[in-house]
């Protein structure tokens, strides 16, 4: 049996664009384009190490600024680790929120020369020597040895305290035998 209906697609539902409406929208006055400043150096140090090694209780009802991770007050978002936080603050979204474009101002030859002179003045000749490096290494080793010694002392103190507590709670063996207690310790000592 053959159908008389032609096989095909019904395209009558497609959207028809109203040219006059779009021409009217185009004629409407728009605001001036946003002029963003070129990128510039940060005038603050990014603090990535303040919460390093600290534990924090994570609750879903805490405000964003107190949640786990790095909080960006400009964009009001939380980033979970330091690498992603650096990517965020160097990224397009954050820089736009600060009012900067991602373009860098082109430096003139005089500016480059001034910068080189400034860096030359900052670097004092002979400021670094192998002796300085050796002294710093020795100092670091001494500090590490001091930390190890303090850890050993803490362990010894804890052992002594634990032994003192056990000694206080230990019963007289005659009384323990009379009450029917054997020794709770192993036979090996």
Give the Cα separation of 180 and 48 in Å (integer): 62
pLDDT given for residue 163 in this prediction = 81
pTM of the model: 0.46
CA atoms within 13 A on the CB side of 61: 0
Give the Cα separation of 169 and 176 in Å (integer): 12
Asked whether the predicted pLDDT for residue 124 surpasses 80, the reply is no
Reported as a single tens digit per residue, the pLDDT across 85-98 is 999 999 999 999 99
pLDDT-derived band at 143 (thresholds 50, 70, 90) equals: very high
Q: What is the mean pLDDT of the chain?
A: 83
Asked whether the predicted pLDDT for residue 75 surpasses 60, the reply is yes
């Amino acid at each position: 049996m053959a159908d008389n209906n032609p096989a095909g697609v019904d395209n009558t539902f497609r959207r028809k664009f109203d040219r006059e409406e779009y021409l009217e929208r185009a004629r409407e006055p728009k605001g001036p384009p946003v002029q963003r400043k070129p990128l510039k150096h940060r005038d603050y140090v990014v603090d990535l190490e303040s919460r390093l090694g600290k534990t924090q209780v994570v609750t879903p009802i805490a405000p964003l600024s107190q949640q786990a991770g790095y909080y960006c007050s400009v964009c009001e978002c939380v980033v979970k680790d330091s690498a992603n936080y650096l990517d965020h603050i160097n990224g397009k979204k954050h820089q736009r929120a600060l009012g900067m474009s991602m373009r860098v101002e082109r430096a003139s030859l005089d500016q480059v020369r001034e910068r080189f002179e400034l860096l030359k003045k900052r670097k004092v000749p002979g400021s670094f020597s192998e002796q300085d490096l050796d002294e710093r290494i020795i100092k670091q080793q001494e500090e590490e040895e001091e930390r190890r010694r303090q850890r050993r002392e803490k362990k010894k103190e804890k052992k002594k305290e634990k032994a003192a507590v056990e000694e206080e709670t230990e019963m007289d063996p005659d009384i323990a035998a009379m009450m029917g207690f054997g020794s709770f310790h192993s036979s090996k000592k």
